[in-house]
Amino acid sequence: MQKEKGTYIAKAGSNGACVIIDEYTVFDNGQGFTISSQNTVLGEYGFSQNAELFTDYNWTPKKMSVKVQNSDREFLGDINGDKVILKNIIKETVEEKVVPLINKNIMFLFSGAIVLPFIWLRSYDFNNYDRTQYQIIPHGTSEVQQLKGSANGSRTFNIQINIGGQIDMIRIETDNIGKMLSFESQTTKLIIKLN
């Protein structure tokens, strides 16, 4: 049963040009939620990809897949107990990697798919204003802090993402159930808003 659908538009902060369009849907699959995303990167080297994220009813990620359209490339991530099994598939070649889970708070962060990495905000404890650590899959860490004083039922988060020593500072605003309304990166200057 379809629960929700929407479109995110990403613009370059430097000139306001539209660079990414992400159309997503959320379905109740009877065991949790399936979030499907079609992500289109615009421009000379643009491409499209389809992504799916499977969560439980608490919005905790369980499995993810990303497939580049018109390509033989696909990424898979599957949580299995205390580890994540990652597969990078190119044509018939499969590279498999096992990543240990060292934190109960996790997010998948693959290239593209704007809505999928931040769906876990819907399960955030909105009474928590402390800094909270997350493990990024396939690799990296994130520190999340909800800011006090949000107005009109919205919530604001500062998120520091560290991948291989490259740090990005992000501010995200959500509605009162954690649905992402806007995203702004201080590093890349990318601005994303729900259309």
Sign for the pseudo-dihedral over CA of 7, 11, 16, 19 = negative
User: Tens digits of per-residue pLDDT, 72-92?
Assistant: 889 899 999 899 999 999 988
What pLDDT is stored for residue 150 in this prediction? Answer: 66
Q: How far apart are the C-alpha atoms of 124 and 176, rounded to whole Å?
A: 11
Chain centroid to Cα 48, Å, comes to 16
User: Mapping DSSP to helix (H, G, I), strand (E, B) and coil, where does residue 123 land?
Assistant: helix
98 bridge partner residues? 85
How far does CA 14 lie from the centroid of its chain?
23
Give the integer Cα–Cα distance in Å for 111 and 106. Answer: 16
Cα gap 108→114, rounded to integer Å: 11
Question: Which pLDDT score is estimated for 44?
Answer: 84
Question: Rounded CA gap, 82 and 103, in Å?
Answer: 9
Q: Which residues of the chain have pLDDT under 70?
A: 1, 110-115, 150-151
Domain locations along the chain = 2-194
- Tokens at 190, concatenated: 């990318």
Beta strand segments in the chain, E: 2-12, 18-28, 33-41, 47-55, 61-68, 73-80, 83-90, 93-100, 106-108, 132-137, 141-146, 155-163, 166-174, 180-185, 190-194
Residue 119's pLDDT is 83
Radius of gyration of the CA atoms of the chain, in A: 16
Query: Would you give the distance in Å from CA 157 to the centre of its chain?
Result: 14
pLDDT for the residue numbered 114: 66
What is the identity of the amino acid at 137?
A: I
